[in-house]
């Protein structure tokens, strides 16, 4: 029996609909400021999508673009200006920055209360301590997708997160822990990774290794939330063609798993949807507004 496909596009559309409904109930209009440095084509596409979806949800979007030769001071100075602007509720620094700029230092300039990407050290500390604050978007999307497949109560589920990056692996583990799951964080030094995965109710591959997780790594009926996005050769499409695949081998995993996210169209669409949700939550926290139900 083939696994149920968890459509990130459908779930993200539901999240955006709940964000729009929430914005309609607020006494003011949340504002998201996006900072883009340079002219990276992929980043420009991402930013256009973020601006369009922000406005579609009824929020205000501010787009600040700096040239690729902008200095560290200019980037950090713009962020400082946005920190001090009472109209701005969320600040998103589009990554990667051009070579020569210090991403970590720039991120740390963002006011943690406006850190809608959940990337500052303060946001990470609040997550570890279980205190209110901004949660990283992609890991939050992973939890929402798992709940869509398995129901809202994930208590007692064994989750194996493959990957220990600060962007996805560690925060995903902490967010599942907050749902009362039992967590294993696996990595390149893990002994017998296959055996560990076979014990998991939920497997979250997030290492950037194409199709690493095979079907025989899974417990029958397991839920696979595939964070990997890898571009690989696709000779079947023609010479020089490529395709996107995840960190899980979709074909073999689909025969064993109970549910699985596709790549593309799985975790990816959730990232922007959770960013929009974070912008509303940041606005409510900053301005003393009640958080609308259903968000």
Residues annotated as catalytic (active site), given as ranges = 50, 94, 117
- 3-class DSSP state for residue 35? strand
Helices and strands in the chain: count of H runs, count of E runs: 10, 11
Cβ atoms of 217 and 197 closer than 8 Å: yes
Q: Which residues contact 17 (CB under 8 A, 6 or more apart)?
A: none
Measure the CA dihedral 101/103/109/111, to 10°.
150
Cβ atoms of 146 and 202 closer than 8 Å: yes
DSSP-derived secondary structure for 130-165: T-SSPPPHHHHHHHHHHHHHH-S--TT-EEEEE---
H helical segments located in the chain = 8-25, 41-56, 72-84, 103-108, 121-129, 137-150, 169-178, 193-197, 250-254, 268-287
Strand arrangement, sheet containing 223-224: 4-5, 259-260, 223-224, 202-205, 158-162, 182-186
């Amino acid at each position: 029996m083939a696994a149920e496909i968890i459509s990130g596009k459908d779930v993200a559309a539901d999240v955006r609909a709940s964000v729009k409904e929430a914005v309609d109930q607020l006494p003011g209009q949340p504002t998201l400021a996006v900072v883009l440095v340079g002219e990276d084509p992929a980043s420009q596409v991402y930013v256009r999508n973020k601006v369009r979806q922000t406005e579609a949800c009824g929020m205000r979007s501010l787009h600040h673009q700096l040239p690729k030769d902008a200095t560290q001071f200019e980037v950090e100075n713009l962020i400082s200006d946005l920190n001090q602007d009472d109209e701005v509720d969320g600040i998103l620094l589009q990554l990667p920055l051009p070579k020569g700029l210090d991403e970590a230092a720039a991120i740390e300039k963002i006011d943690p209360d406006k850190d809608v990407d959940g990337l500052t050290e303060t946001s990470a500390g609040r997550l570890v301590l279980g205190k209110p604050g901004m949660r990283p978007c992609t890991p939050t999307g992973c939890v929402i997708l798992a709940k869509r497949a398995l129901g809202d109560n994930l208590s007692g589920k064994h989750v194996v997160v493959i990957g220990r990056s600060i962007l996805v692996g560690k925060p995903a583990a902490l967010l599942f822990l907050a749902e009362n799951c039992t967590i294993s964080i696996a990595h390149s030094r893990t002994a017998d990774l296959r055996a560990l995965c076979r014990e998991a109710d939920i497997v979250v591959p997030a290492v950037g290794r194409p199709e690493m997780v095979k079907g025989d790594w899974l417990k029958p009926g397991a839920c696979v939330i595939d964070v990997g996005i890898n571009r690989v050769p696709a000779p079947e499409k023609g010479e020089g063609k490529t395709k996107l695949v995840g960190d899980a081998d979709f074909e073999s995993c689909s025969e064993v798993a109970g549910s699985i996210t596709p790549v593309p169209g799985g975790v990816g669409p959730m990232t922007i949807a959770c960013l929009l949700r974070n912008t509303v939550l940041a606005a409510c926290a900053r301005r003393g507004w009640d958080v609308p139900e259903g968000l």
